Structure 1
Amino acid sequence: MHRSRLFGVLIDTPAKEADAAVSFWATALGGSARPAPGEPEYTGITGAVPGTAVVVQSVDDAPRYHMDIETDDVEAETARLLRAGATVVTDNGEHKILRAPGGHLLCVVPVQSSEHLFATDAKVWP
C-alpha cells in the first residue's frame, strides 16, 4: 500500500522567456514569485492555488505544462501509472518522468509537501 497526490503544475518555459512567464503567471494567478534556493531553473508562484505548487520551470525545450505527482513510494506509484497506460521517458532513480496517454509529461517524485498536507490529501492505493 502506498499514497500519492498531485503536488504541482509546472509551466515549462523556454529559458529566454522564463522571467516574462514568471511575471505573467504571478499576475494572472494572483500569486507572488519565489525563486527556489539553489535551483535557478525553478520559480514558484506562491499563493496561487492553495495546497498545490505552481512553478515556472526554465527549460531548453518547447513550452508545455506538466504535473508532478508526489508519493511515499516512487516505484509503486510508477508501476500503478504504467498499468494505467503511461510509459517511462526517463528513470532518474529518485524520480521518474512518464508520458501519459495523449502525450503529456508527468513526474513521479518523493513527497515534497509538508507531512500534514500529504497525510491529509494523499490517496491510498492498494
Structure 2
Amino acid sequence: MTVTVGMITCDTTDALALATWWAEQTGGIITEENEGWYVMVALPTGLVLGFQKVDDPTPGKNRLHLDVVTDDLAAEVERLRAAGAGVVAERGDDSFRWVTMTDPAGNEFCVAPRH
C-alpha cells in the first residue's frame, strides 16, 4: 500500500488573502472557501494548495516549501516582487540558479528555471 499527496496545506492568519495571492501568482482558482478558515486553490498542474487559518502560525523557517518553475527567472522574480513577494537570496552557480523568496505571509518558496 502507498499514499498519494492530495494537497499541500499552509497555516496562516489570513487564509483567504494568502490563497488569493497564490491563486493569482500560479494561475490557480479558488475551489473552496469555508468562511475564510480553510481555502483550497486548484493549480493548473492538478496540485491543490490548502490555506488554513490559525491564530499563531509556527515561527521560523518552514521545513517544507514550494519550488515553482518558470521560463524566465529574472522576469518572474520581478513580477513576484511587484505582487508582494520578498527576496531572501539568489542561489546557485553557473550551472543552475534559483531564488529563495517569501510570500506575503513570510513563507519561503523557491523560483527556478524550467529545465
Is TM more than 0.5 here? no
Give the structure-1-normalised TM-score: 0.41
More helix per residue: 1
More strand per residue: 1
